[in-house]
Structure 1
Amino acid sequence: MWITTDQLLLLLLLLTTNGAPLLARELLHSGFNHPIDRGHRLASGQPLLGPSKTWRGVIAALLLTPLVSLLLGLGWLLGLVIALFAMLGDISSSFIKRRLGMPSSSMALGLDQIPESLLPLLACRLLIELPLTQLALLVVLFFITELLLSRVLFWLHIRRHPY
């Protein structure tokens, strides 16, 4: 099964969304570092999402991904859909990890990668033709690429933890 140029561009948009919060943190340091959950905790004492899910990261993804999508000739709407649903997947993963008692920024193999790629790709199917076999391939490619890039970014002191 071959992957097309358009599907590689979708992978690039997923990686853009995933990297936008890191880029924003590097550029803005502690600026606009406001947790989405505002520090709220559930009755169990566990945070709702944790301090690493910030408005800065969400806004960075929602701004950068449509821009990159537009520059790639895919249109801003596709980029916005990818960013929105990737962020929903990322936030959902954090919510689940907190319920499992995992600390913020800890790694849960698969849970950290699959929702962040699967949800936006499923949503993209409303805008573009994306067969389920290609969607599945893109999820696997994102999973592998994200793990490899994470280690490189950790080595470059951009990411705080090597996943």
Structure 2
Amino acid sequence: MPTLIFQIGKFFLQCLWFFLPIGFANMAPVFARKINFLNVPVDFGYSIAHKRIFGDHKTWRGILAGVLIGECVFLLQRFLEQYPVFTALHFTSYQTLPWYFGALIGFGAVFGDLIKSFFKRRKNIAAGTSWIPFDQIDYILGGLIFSLIVVRIPLSAWLTILILGFLLHIATNHIGFWLGIREQRW
């Protein structure tokens, strides 16, 4: 029984470890919003059928921040992998993954968010209004799908990462709201 509990715990930690660059990439645009560099909407203000493509809140600055933070977190994980405690936390050796893997899944995370925003605009859901569960899983799906370009992880890991990411997203948004970083709780 202790071995089974250990294996389940290890699996959850591996899922969390794989999720970290995706999760931080998703948070990066929020922390970069005070930077004026590239504060230009991705859709450049264009509309389709009188509806903005993505809206003012989706900027090139946010995309760049997500890609850079995703890459930085991955490179930190890759560095930490030299220590045995961190070696157990991955599905595959991060040393064998290409150096740009973090940027790739970071881009996947912000791309997933863009796709969701596109559909929110089509459904007349205002920017900043919650669209459960899509607001909580869009970036996770984007990051995981883009990870397929380089690495395969078990389907059970995908499902676990989606659930963990969903719960962590809710928790971090609530904390951000209480700290005054976010305007919306959800």
**TM-score, normalised by the number of residues in structure 2:** 0.79
Counterpart mapping for 1:58-73 below 5 A: 58-73=63-78
Partner of 2:134: helix, strand, or coil?
coil
Q: What is the match of residue 116 of structure 2?
A: 93
Instruction: Work out which of the residue numbers 55, 58, 62 in structure 2 matches 1:57.
Output: 62
> Percent identical across equivalent pairs?
30
Asked whether 1:112 is paired with 2:117, we answer: no
Instruction: Work out which of the residue numbers 136, 151, 156 in structure 1 matches 2:179.
Output: 156
Q: What is the match of residue 39 of structure 1?
A: 45
**TM-score, normalised by the number of residues in structure 1:** 0.89
The structure number with the bigger radius of gyration is 2
**Displacement after TM superposition at 1:23 (Å):** 1.3
- Report the Cα distance in structure 2 between the residues aligned to 1:57 and 1:111, rounded to whole angstroms: 19
**Displacement after TM superposition at 1:31 (Å):** 4.6
Given the superposition, is the C-alpha separation of residues 124 and 31 from structure 1 closer, same or farther in structure 2, using an over 3 Å criterion? closer
Is the Cα–Cα contact under 8 Å of residues 41 and 58 in structure 2 kept in the other structure? yes
Detail structure 1 runs of 4+ shifted over 6 Å in the superposition.
none
Is the Cα–Cα contact under 8 Å of residues 17 and 61 in structure 1 kept in the other structure? yes
* Count of residue pairs the alignment pairs up: 160
- Report the Cα distance in structure 1 between the residues aligned to 2:148 and 2:156, rounded to whole angstroms: 12
- Report the Cα distance in structure 2 between the residues aligned to 1:55 and 1:161, rounded to whole angstroms: 22
Is the Cα–Cα contact under 8 Å of residues 90 and 115 in structure 1 kept in the other structure? yes
- Report the Cα distance in structure 2 between the residues aligned to 1:60 and 1:11, rounded to whole angstroms: 17
Is the Cα–Cα contact under 8 Å of residues 85 and 120 in structure 1 kept in the other structure? yes
- Report the Cα distance in structure 2 between the residues aligned to 1:84 and 1:139, rounded to whole angstroms: 17
Q: What is the match of residue 32 of structure 2?
A: 24
Q: After superposition, what is the alpha-carbon deviation per residue over 1:5-43, rounded to whole angstroms, capped at 9, x for unaligned?
A: 4322122112111111011114x2x55321111111222
- Report the Cα distance in structure 2 between the residues aligned to 1:106 and 1:51, rounded to whole angstroms: 14
Q: What is the match of residue 4 of structure 2?
A: none
- Report the Cα distance in structure 1 between the residues aligned to 2:46 and 2:59, rounded to whole angstroms: 13
Q: After superposition, what is the alpha-carbon deviation per residue over 1:97-147, rounded to whole angstroms, capped at 9, x for unaligned?
A: 000001112110111122310232133234234100111110111011001
Q: After superposition, what is the alpha-carbon deviation per residue over 1:46-67, rounded to whole angstroms, capped at 9, x for unaligned?
A: 2111111011110001111101
Let me know the Cα RMSD of the aligned residues: 1.7
Counterpart mapping for 1:134-149 below 5 A: 134-149=157-172
Unaligned runs of 5+ in 2: 1-7, 79-93
Aligned AA (1:9) = W
Is the Cα–Cα contact under 8 Å of residues 15 and 161 in structure 2 kept in the other structure? yes
Aligned AA (2:168) = T
Aligned AA (2:43) = D
Unaligned runs of 5+ in 1: none
Is the Cα–Cα contact under 8 Å of residues 21 and 69 in structure 2 kept in the other structure? no
Aligned AA (2:42) = I
